[in-house]
Chains A and B, each alone.
Chain A
Amino acid sequence: MANKTVSKTAGTNNRSFIDRMGGQKFIVILIVIALFILFCAMSPQFRKYTTVVSILDYSYYIALMAIGVTFPLLTAGVDLSIGTGLICYSLIGGYLIVHHDWPTGAGILVTILIGVVFGVINGCLVALMDLPAFLATLCTCMITRGLGSIVVGGYGIPWPTATQPGGWFRNIFKIQMDGMNIPIGFLWIVLLVIIMSFVLNHTKVGRYTLAIGSNKEATRLSGVNVKFYHVFAYVICGFFTGLAAIAYSAIFPTVQPGSGAGFELDAIGGAIIGGVSMTGGVGSITGTFAGVFVICLLKTGLPFIGLTANWQQIITGLVLIASVLIDILNRKKEGK
């Protein structure tokens, strides 16, 4: 447990080039650029502005989930409920808007609020009642999946389209200018990455989250209200899942009950590629952000170069192994 913090401070005088450039983050950004160039070279369809917009469109909800889930991961926990949770919150918010004529703003607030509520529930189960995070959030994953379907009664929920009244929220992520789609959602995501990086590195909430992941007992003994900050990590995750639900509803025409399982793996995968350690205590928001784009590029790029479904999955798996291996090898080197 203790050597995790050591790796952060050790070898400050004797750092490799990669470390000086930001460690794994640097490698991941290189991978993103390399993948992008590779796909551009191999597919004329990929080299289009619309493809870039599509990749960004489909990255928002994963990026938001990934920023959120980074916090539980840093406490050496995990939140598996974010995928089905996203769909559940979006279904409930959308149901109020579509079937109960709530104003879109109120629906969005409810969506985010339910995300926060489930964050609190997850946090209490894990931090206060000492359930293993994997188990607790797997249960809330099941609960959210069932709950969403029950509330909407099996109906898919089409959030208002951009041209319908109440469809303004779709313009949060994409505006039209001279017939061009401008993916302004990317700006908001970058902004959130900057804010959450600050929160993680320069506020109590962030520092204690990292400390809990490194050594919970030592953190507790130094007088930190460990339980509160542990719960809070899950609340942040729930809040961002709520935001992700809005992003998902804004990009896709219909939200289908029963879907969402598997989304969490894209987000967690992105965070891990970006250098977040599954044993907690190590990681960054910017790394997670870069990692998400490895996943998104693979998801969009592989079909474009003509690989069929089965090959796409094999290659995605191999790239994940490679990125995690690089991290492990790096850390072993530092340890010596």
Chain B
Amino acid sequence: MKKKVLAVLLGGCMVAGLLAGCGGGSSSTASTDSSSEGSEGGGGGYHFEVVVKSFQSTYWQAAITGVKAAADELGVTVNTTGPNNESDIADQVNMLNNAINQNPDGIALAANSQDAVLESLQSALDAGIPVVCFDTGVPDAPEGSVYATMATDNEAAGAVAAENMYEVIGDYIKNATEPVRIGEVNQDATSANISGRGMGFINKMKELIEADGKTVAVIGNQYYVDQVENNGDEGSADVIIEVAVPAQTTVELSATEASNIMNKEDTIAIFGSNQVTAEGVLTANQNLSVLAATPDEGIVGVGFDAGATIKAAVADGTLVGAVTQAPVDQGKLAIEALYDICEGNEVSDVATDAYWYDAENMEEDTIAPNLYD
């Protein structure tokens, strides 16, 4: 019996080893060096350490593309590290500490935890190493340690979605004789990024519609409704913006919330404010088949972020377009800021743009690098 147990166990271990081996190639923490030729003269040979949130995801690969582009342009060397996973907070702190020990001319950091890095930032300050944050700021950083932050302005990103959606549905709303409905599915009502985006969309859409002389009522999730100023009355408004938040952040529940809105006769457009909810809209559409290019034909869908599924939907016109953040720009700006600091120039926070992309422009050089799989 004992032998059998042992045999089975060994078998299990072998299988586990096999499986781990499969992923081994991509699992080890990666680190790359990138330097530019002929840099020594122009760039003063600065060396920067870059610590990203995770070395694996395509979003971060896009950010690193920007880092390298800036390094080549400015003639500096960079070393990029990052943990396997965005939840590997302790790993990232270790990497940050290692980066500080290298005594570079500057550090660019996308912190996984805003609290866990505070001590390290203090030691960077003590060592006189300037730090620039990108993607995510560290609000409680020790005074003077973080010189600047390059992150997406989520309110503006939501507004970009609203503006571009309004270009498609604006005329329909102006000419509508009966009330129409616009849906928004937000992953949660807790994170600053998502709620900023959600409110950015609502406020911009409300502003645009009211500028055309129509009234707007925002209904649905209480958290978002409470933040709306001068909210209209649902019974009499010309346009209803309905905000839905799924009970859990799964594609399935996002799809259910989206179906509910997309099933309503008066719905003309819907916005999924991140990757999961945009995929929820697409999943709902698998059964409903209502998404269309104009409000006359069906419901106009707009997404957020990238990923293979959303990119494909934008390319074939199922979604009229989507908004992507600018990881490439953020990486680039972070290196440029570090360079400026070393040159003794003033630097300031930059809220990076969010780009609208649709079937027409998604191949363009400014857009394509920001569309990760």
Given known contacts A45-B263, A262-B248, A300-B256, A252 and B283 CB-to-CB distance under 8 angstroms? yes
CA distance A179 to B26 in the complex (A): 42
Shortest CB–CB separation between residue A261 and chain B, in angstroms? 10
Given known contacts A254-B309, A303-B260, A53 and B287 CB-to-CB distance under 8 angstroms? yes
CA distance A161 to B310 in the complex (A): 12
Q: Name A176-196 residues within 8 Å CB distance of B.
A: 179, 181
Query: Which residue on chain B has the smallest CB distance to residue A252?
Result: B251
Query: Which residue on chain A has the smallest CB distance to residue B85?
Result: A149
Chain B residue contacts of A50, Cβ below 8 A: 259, 263, 287-288
Q: Is A117 an interface residue (CB 8 A)?
A: yes
Q: Is B5 an interface residue (CB 8 A)?
A: yes
Shortest CB–CB separation between residue A120 and chain B, in angstroms? 7
Q: Is A105 an interface residue (CB 8 A)?
A: no
Contact A154 B309 (CB under 8 A): no
Q: Is A112 an interface residue (CB 8 A)?
A: no
Q: Is A18 an interface residue (CB 8 A)?
A: no
Q: Is A108 an interface residue (CB 8 A)?
A: no
Q: Is B338 an interface residue (CB 8 A)?
A: no
Query: Which residue on chain A has the smallest CB distance to residue B261?
Result: A45
Shortest CB–CB separation between residue B322 and chain A, in angstroms? 14
Contact A150 B23 (CB under 8 A): yes
Chain B residue contacts of A154, Cβ below 8 A: 54, 56-58, 84-85
Q: Which of A128, A155, A161 has the most CB of B within 10 A?
A: A155
Contact B9 A124 (CB under 8 A): yes
CA distance A150 to B275 in the complex (A): 21
Q: Is B220 an interface residue (CB 8 A)?
A: yes
Of A153, A252, A300, the contact of B27 (CB 8 Å cutoff): A153
Chain B residue contacts of A124, Cβ below 8 A: 5, 8-9, 12
Query: Which residue on chain A has the smallest CB distance to residue B27?
Result: A150
Chain B residue contacts of A308, Cβ below 8 A: 220-222, 245
Q: Is B244 an interface residue (CB 8 A)?
A: yes
Q: Name A113-163 residues within 8 Å CB distance of B.
A: 114, 117, 120-121, 124, 128-129, 147, 149-156, 158, 161
Q: Annotate B91-105 by CB proximity to A: 1 below 8 A, 0 otherwise.
A: 000000000000000
Contact B246 A253 (CB under 8 A): no
Of B8, B84, B247, B255, the contact of A120 (CB 8 Å cutoff): B8
Contact A121 B309 (CB under 8 A): no
Given known contacts A155-B373, A253-B309, A309 and B15 CB-to-CB distance under 8 angstroms? no
Contact B5 A54 (CB under 8 A): no
B contact residues, total (Cβ < 8 Å): 54
Chain A residue contacts of B220, Cβ below 8 A: 308
CA distance A299 to B255 in the complex (A): 11
Contact A253 B260 (CB under 8 A): no
Q: Which of B26, B247, B250, B255 has the most CB of A within 10 A?
A: B247
Chain A residue contacts of B284, Cβ below 8 A: 54
Q: Name B304-345 residues within 8 Å CB distance of A.
A: 307-309, 312
Contact A114 B19 (CB under 8 A): yes
Query: Which residue on chain B has the smallest CB distance to residue A312?
Result: B247
Q: Is B155 an interface residue (CB 8 A)?
A: no
Given known contacts A124-B12, A308-B222, A299 and B279 CB-to-CB distance under 8 angstroms? no
Chain A residue contacts of B263, Cβ below 8 A: 45, 48, 50-51
Q: Is B192 an interface residue (CB 8 A)?
A: no
Chain B residue contacts of A304, Cβ below 8 A: 256, 259-260
Q: Is B211 an interface residue (CB 8 A)?
A: no
Given known contacts A50-B263, A54-B259, A308-B221, A150 and B84 CB-to-CB distance under 8 angstroms? yes
Contact B283 A253 (CB under 8 A): yes
Chain A residue contacts of B54, Cβ below 8 A: 154
Q: Name B173-225 residues within 8 Å CB distance of A.
A: 189, 220-222
Q: Is A313 an interface residue (CB 8 A)?
A: yes
Q: Is A58 an interface residue (CB 8 A)?
A: yes
Q: Name B41-80 residues within 8 Å CB distance of A.
A: 54, 56-58
CA distance A54 to B283 in the complex (A): 9
Of A129, A256, A313, the contact of B5 (CB 8 Å cutoff): A129
Chain A residue contacts of B289, Cβ below 8 A: 179
Shortest CB–CB separation between residue B155 and chain A, in angstroms? 23
Contact B56 A92 (CB under 8 A): no
Query: Which residue on chain A has the smallest CB distance to residue B26?
Result: A153
CA distance A48 to B262 in the complex (A): 12
CA distance A262 to B253 in the complex (A): 13
Chain B residue contacts of A161, Cβ below 8 A: 312
Chain A residue contacts of B189, Cβ below 8 A: 309
Contact B58 A155 (CB under 8 A): yes
CA distance A256 to B277 in the complex (A): 13
CA distance A155 to B257 in the complex (A): 25
Q: Is A57 an interface residue (CB 8 A)?
A: yes
Chain B residue contacts of A286, Cβ below 8 A: none
Contact A153 B56 (CB under 8 A): yes
Shortest CB–CB separation between residue B313 and chain A, in angstroms? 8
Given known contacts A124-B8, A253-B309, A254-B308, A92 and B256 CB-to-CB distance under 8 angstroms? no
Q: Is B20 an interface residue (CB 8 A)?
A: yes
Contact A259 B250 (CB under 8 A): yes
| CB pairs A–B below 8 angstroms (12 shown) | A57-B286, A147-B19, A151-B22, A152-B26, A153-B26, A158-B307, A158-B312, A251-B283, A254-B251, A254-B279, A303-B257, A309-B246
6 extra interface residue pairs, beta carbon distance < 8 Å, beyond A58-B256, A147-B20: A45-B264, A128-B8, A156-B309, A252-B251, A256-B276, A313-B247
The 3 A-B pairs of least Cβ separation, nearest first, read A154-B56, A151-B23, A45-B263
